[in-house]
Structure formats: C-alpha cells, structure tokens
Chains A and B, each alone.
Chain A
Amino acid sequence: MILMSAFVGMRYYVTSTNMDAALNAKAELIAQRIANAVQPTIWNIYQKSGERVYSQQVTSAILDSEFADPNVIGVSVYGNFGHVFMARYKDAQGNISDHSAERHKRALTTADHRSLISVRQGVMTIGNVLVLLSNAPDTAQLRRILLIDAAQTLIVSLCFIVFLFYAIQKALIRPAAQLKAANAELKEFSYRITHDLRSPIVSSLALIKMSEKSLEKGDTAQTLLQIRHIIKSLEYLDQLNHDVFEVLTIAHKDEDVASVNVEHMIQDIIALLSHLNSGTPIDIRYDYNAAAFIHTKPERLRMIIENLTSNALKYKDPQEDSPYIKFTTRQENSVFILEIEDNGIGIPENMHQHIFKMFKRFHPKVSFGSGLGLYLVQKSAHIINADIRFIPCEKGVKFKLSIPLQE
C-alpha cells in the first residue's frame, strides 16, 4: 500500500510539473498568436500616432476567441506608449469583462502563468501582449484523477490485505488451530491412557486377592467366576495395548496401494470373527452391486471392515429373533460405496456426535472394548482418502464408507 501510494504521489508530481510546463508554453503560444493578430492594427495606430481608439470589433474577435480556452483568465494588449489598448478578464464565475485597473490587478494575483510578448514591426517594438493563465481547471482535473488513483490504491490494497489474511490463515492460523486440536487430543489421550491402562490392572489385582480368599474358603465356584473376570480384564488390557499401539503408529505406517477384492476381504473377516457369532447366529447378508476390485491400501481397509464387523457381532440385540449384518456395495459416479449395517442394540442418540472420538464406549455392560475402535476406523478412512459416516437408523447402526476410485 505504501509503495502504491508512493507511485500515485510520484505520478501526481510528474503530471503537475508537466502541466505547469505545458501551461507556460500555452501562455507563450497564445500571447504570440495575439501579438501576430493585433500587429497590423497596432502598427496602424503607431503610424497615426494620435489616434488611440481601438476597434471594438477587432478586440472582440481576437480576445473572445482566446477566452474559449478555460485556462485563459486575462489578456492585455499594450500600445507603443505602454498604455492599454485593449484588455479582457475572466472572473471566477466565468464572466468576461473589459479593462479596469482593479480587474487587471486581480487577474495578475490569480494567474499562475504569465507571458509577455512584444508586438514588433521589423526590429522595432510597437507594443506588448500580456496573457494570464490559471491552472485551476487542470488542477481540478488532476485532483479528480488523484482521487480515482487513491480509491484504486485503497481497493487494491484492501483486496491485497484480504488475500494476505486468507493466505496467512491458510499458512499459519489453520495449521496452528489443527496443532492445538491435536495437542488437546494428545492431552486427552495421555490422560485416558494413564487411567485406562491402570484400571484393568487394579481390577485384576483386587479380584486376585478376592479369589485367594475364596480359594482359602474352598469356594471353588466363586474362585472360578473371579478368575474368568480376571481373564476378561487382562484380555481387555491386551486389546487396549493393541489399539493404543495402532493409534500411535497409524499415521506413520507405510503401505502401498494394491488391488483388493473387497468381497473376498469381507469373507475372510467374517471367518476370522466367527468366534464372536455365538448364541443366536447372526445372518450375514450381502448385496453387492459394484465391481469387487478396488485400488486402495489393503490393511487400512481391512481394519475398517474388521472393526465395524466385530462391533456388529458384539453388539447384537439379544431380544432380536433375526439378527443380521448386511454388507452392501455400489458405485456412485467414481466412488466405491460400502455400507455395513445391523439390527443390533445401536448407539444411544445422545452419543451420535461422539461416535468417532477416542475412548468412547457405549455399552459397557455388553462388551468392554477399548473405546478406540471407531476412532481408528475414522483415522484409517482418512489415510485411504475415504469418508466414513454414521447413518442414523431406526434400529441398529449403519456405516457408509465412500472410497474414491483410482486407476
């Protein structure tokens, strides 16, 4: 903005200087033209000597034509005796009037440029022409131009400032906000890790002491029950350890894109998790409407499908006569869609906004997960440039994974 203002100022100075020079030249030109025009008349008077009355027609014809120029504010023609033969002055309102000493003085004061030219006959000076110019009309024009330039500078500067603001925001503020959010997440992560890692250890220790007492009393049934809970608690600890490791390493895992048969991958996962499909067996339904092969990072995709499938198996509704999981694929434009839905116990509505957050568990009585599964699902989806959404439904849950197809 300072640079642009400096350029505007420089342009104003140069234009103003040029204008002054042009007006000086113009004054001389007009004076010379008048001198040439009145020369015969002055010469005639000069020859007659005594006759000092000047023709009004000649005065009007010559002077009026020159006053058409907006810069001309006064013209005086002097005879060979230095007396005024004719003169005209233009006041601020544009009225043209004849010679008077007062008008002459005012015009001299107001004029910015003067030019005095001799009227000659051969080498003899027989009179003079004084032309007075004002640069007021040009100054007004120059000011208008300056105002436009200033407005232009201001608008361009404002645009530049807005651009600069967004550029800085993109370059610094947004990353800073993201860093702040990441820091808050890390803080929460550290807090929860200290709690969640300690919790199963503390519970197991307490139960071991209780089972010791039960054993001393010979209460085998109670001891067995307690041992089973200890095992569950330690299994949870193992799962937590695994998930925490995943969280810590997920962003740094190098994995190449490969061709993946999604339908085969789902089959493998179902087989792998078959131990969770106990009690009333869950009906596995498929509705495949897209090509089975996609290019993506296989392990990331596996983690997503495995987590969502194991959740569907773990959180089935015991009251439901026909529990099911349904895998649907389709292609929408150049996006591969995989939907995994079930009619299980679902997720409480007030928890929907926290679904993908760390350490969020929704059904502690049913299964004691680490609360990191869906967080990892979302992180994995981002790594493969996919979008994962929870679709609220009347019963159970539905997740929609959208993977942009690539060559």
Chain B
Amino acid sequence: MANIPTFLVVDDDIIVHLYYEGTLKELGARAHVLKAYDGQEALEMLIDKAAPIPAVIFLDITMPGLDGYGFLEAFHKAYPDSETTIVMVSSSRLEQDKQRCKAYKFVKEFITKPPQAEDIERICLMHGAL
C-alpha cells in the first residue's frame, strides 16, 4: 500500500470526478483518489495530517470559493519545497491562463479539458500508479 500514490482531483464539476474515477478504473491504475470541490476544501485536505500527501494534484481554474489561482498561491506559500506535481486541467484555451499557471514551479502541465485517457495514463506511469 505504501507504494500506491495519491491523486487529488480539485474540480467543482461532479462529472469531472466521475470521469477521473472511470478513466483510472479503466486504465487499471492503482492510486488513492481524493476529491475536493474547490481550492479551500483541497487546502483543508492538505492541512489534515491524516490524509496522505498527494503525488499529483489535478487542478481546475474556475471554481466557486477559492479558485485554481487562489489555491496555487496558497499552496506556494504553505509548501514552497513541496515535490507534489500540479497538473492544471481547465476548459480555458487562453495562453495567458497557461502562462499564469506555469509561473509556479510545481505546475508541470496545463491540459485543456477534457483530459484524454492518454494524458492520465502518462501521468499514472510517471508517478507509479501503473
């Protein structure tokens, strides 16, 4: 169990959560999947020491409450040395959104929704879920 990575999906759309769930199941990925519906809920999960530290955070930008940008800023302040990979997954196709997210060192990818099964598979392989 110790080698099973944890993925945190932060998105306000329940369908997105279902999509990740279904795709990971289909790929046969072995990962703990945590769900948060906005940035604030995700931060609270990270603060909770009982929860495992996620290897990857799939983060949406536009969310109620604390949005993706707010989460990135808060995460940057709270965990400046974190090794967690953040993958931005947004409906936005704007270059300015990409550049703004990639300014944070832990943002490794910016994927336009919907993430393809190949993208999720690649990320699973990189983090030992496959």
Q: Which residues of A are at the interface with B, using a C-beta cutoff of 8 A? A: 191-192, 194-196, 198-199, 202-207, 210, 213, 226, 229, 232-233, 348, 350-351, 359-365, 368, 371
Contact = CB atoms under 8 A, between A and B. Distances in A.
Nearest to B62: A195
Most interface-central of B18, B37, B92, B94 (chain A CB within 10 A): B18
A94 B115 CA distance: 104
B64 A360 contact: yes
Contact of A351 (B14, B23, B65, B92): B65
B15 interface: yes
B14 A362 contact: no
Given A198-B91, A364-B38, A203 B16 contact: yes
Contact of A229 (B15, B26, B64, B65): B15
B1 to A, nearest CB: 27
Interface of B: 12-16, 18-19, 22-23, 26, 37-38, 61-65, 90-94, 113-114
A214 to B, nearest CB: 8
B14 A365 contact: yes
A141 to B, nearest CB: 72
Given A192-B62, A202-B113, A371-B64, 20 more contacts: A194-B91, A194-B92, A195-B61, A196-B62, A196-B91, A199-B13, A199-B113, A202-B91, A203-B13, A206-B15, A207-B18, A213-B26, A232-B15, A233-B15, A359-B62, A362-B65, A364-B12, A364-B14, A365-B14, A365-B37
Interface of B is mostly: loop
B120 to A, nearest CB: 11
A203 B15 CA distance: 6
Given A195-B92, A365-B37, A205 B114 contact: yes
B64 A364 contact: yes
A45 B18 CA distance: 136
Interface of A is mostly: helix
Nearest to B96: A191
Contact of B63 (A205, A232, A364): A364
A362 B12 CA distance: 10
Contacts of B16: 203
Nearest to B66: A350
Nearest to A196: B62
B116 to A, nearest CB: 10
A199 B14 CA distance: 12
Contacts of A348: 65
B10 to A, nearest CB: 11
Nearest to B16: A203
Nearest to A361: B64
Contacts of B18: 207, 210, 226, 229
Most interface-central of A204, A364, A368 (chain B CB within 10 A): A364
B20 to A, nearest CB: 10
A202 to B, nearest CB: 5
23 contacts: A194-B92, A195-B90, A195-B91, A196-B91, A198-B91, A198-B113, A199-B113, A202-B113, A203-B15, A203-B114, A210-B18, A210-B23, A213-B26, A229-B18, A233-B15, A359-B62, A360-B64, A361-B12, A362-B64, A364-B12, A364-B13, A368-B14, A371-B64
